[in-house]
């Protein structure tokens, strides 16, 4: 590619991509991360730490997607709208930096879910080297572990807006409830966590083996108290456990 701008989310996929790009192209690689209430602050922190460790120029772009009503109305085109805006910003930054290509950390497993944003990226000429190489999440984690990338086993993250039920308007307050609620659950030792918000109901997903622990006292009372403090009326536990992209069940 000659030179590349890597869209760095703070997850293991884009982390591996950035490290390989750095090894291959040296100073001809730059990383870019979007800052917005829809992205967990921990993701931004991880992205910054990785870029610093690799001595890669890390560009942060303020992403004001909450001012876009087509996004906030939260229909099935939400991701399409968001990705289109992100790609516009990435292309503008790449041109400004004189960089030939833009690359993201999409992988084979992303093809198994409803991902309209991925189709937008592909049509826009965004490169996905991990996907093109046939790598899935398991392959990526293994490669990241061998390369001693610290976050190789970090649970997958996602845009906070993906936790809000389709048809429920997206705003800063709802996003804050989700982020703070999930952070609290992580502090209690739960590894894989999603709070799916169907106002006034918060539907908690944890891995199946952790369901019994969350349902037991005193943790159950602590979680209920915290979520009510954040503004949730009803706190529920999803007995199916953590499932990536489970909100997409509503589309069918």
Per-residue pLDDT tens over the stretch 115-145: 777 888 888 899 999 999 999 999 999 999 9
Q: Residue 154, Cα to own-chain centre: how many angstroms? A: 12
- Domain boundaries of the chain, sorted by first residue: 4-146, 160-251
Given the candidates 3.40.50.300, 3.40.190.10, 3.40.50.620, 3.30.70.870, the CATH classification of the domain at 4-146 is 3.40.50.620
Q: What is the pLDDT of residue 33?
A: 98
φ/ψ of 160, rounded to 5, equals -65, -25
**Scanning the structure block, which residue is given the tokens 């906070």?**
160
Q: What is the pLDDT of residue 5?
A: 98
Q: What is the pLDDT of residue 163?
A: 96
Q: What is the pLDDT of residue 241?
A: 97
Q: What is the pLDDT of residue 116?
A: 76
Q: What is the pLDDT of residue 111?
A: 84
Q: What is the pLDDT of residue 157?
A: 87
Q: What is the pLDDT of residue 14?
A: 97
Q: Of 82, 156, 159, which Cα lies nearest the Cα of 121? A: 82
Q: Which residues of the chain have pLDDT under 50?
A: none
HSE-CB for 250 with a 13 A CA cutoff: 16
Tell me how long the chain is: 252
> CATH assignment of 160-251?
3.30.300
């Amino acid at each position: 590619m000659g030179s590349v701008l890597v869209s760095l989310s703070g997850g293991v996929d884009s982390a591996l991509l950035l490290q390989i790009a750095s090894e291959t192209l040296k100073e001809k690689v730059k990383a870019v991360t979007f800052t917005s209430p829809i992205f967990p602050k921990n993701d931004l922190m991880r992205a910054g730490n990785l870029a610093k460790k690799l001595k890669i120029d890390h560009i942060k772009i303020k992403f004001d997607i909450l001012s876009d009503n087509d996004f906030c109305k939260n229909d099935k085109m939400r991701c399409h709208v968001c990705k289109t805006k992100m790609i516009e910003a990435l292309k503008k930054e790449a041109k400004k930096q004189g960089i030939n290509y833009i690359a993201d950390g999409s992988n084979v497993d992303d093809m198994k879910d409803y991902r309209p944003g991925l189709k937008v990226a592909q049509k826009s000429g965004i490169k996905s080297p991990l996907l093109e190489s046939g790598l899935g999440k398991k392959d990526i984690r293994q490669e990241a572990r061998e390369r001693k990338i610290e976050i190789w086993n970090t649970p997958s993250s996602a845009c906070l807006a993906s936790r809000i039920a389709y048809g429920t308007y997206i705003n800063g307050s709802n996003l804050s409830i989700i982020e703070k609620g999930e952070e609290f659950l992580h502090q209690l030792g739960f590894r894989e966590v999603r709070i799916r918000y169907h106002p006034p109901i918060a539907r908690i997903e944890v891995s199946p083996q952790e369901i019994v622990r969350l349902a037991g006292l005193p943790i159950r009372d602590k979680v209920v108290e915290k979520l009510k403090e954040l503004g949730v009326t009803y706190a529920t536990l999803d007995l199916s456990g953590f499932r990536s992209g489970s909100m997409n069940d509503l589309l069918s």
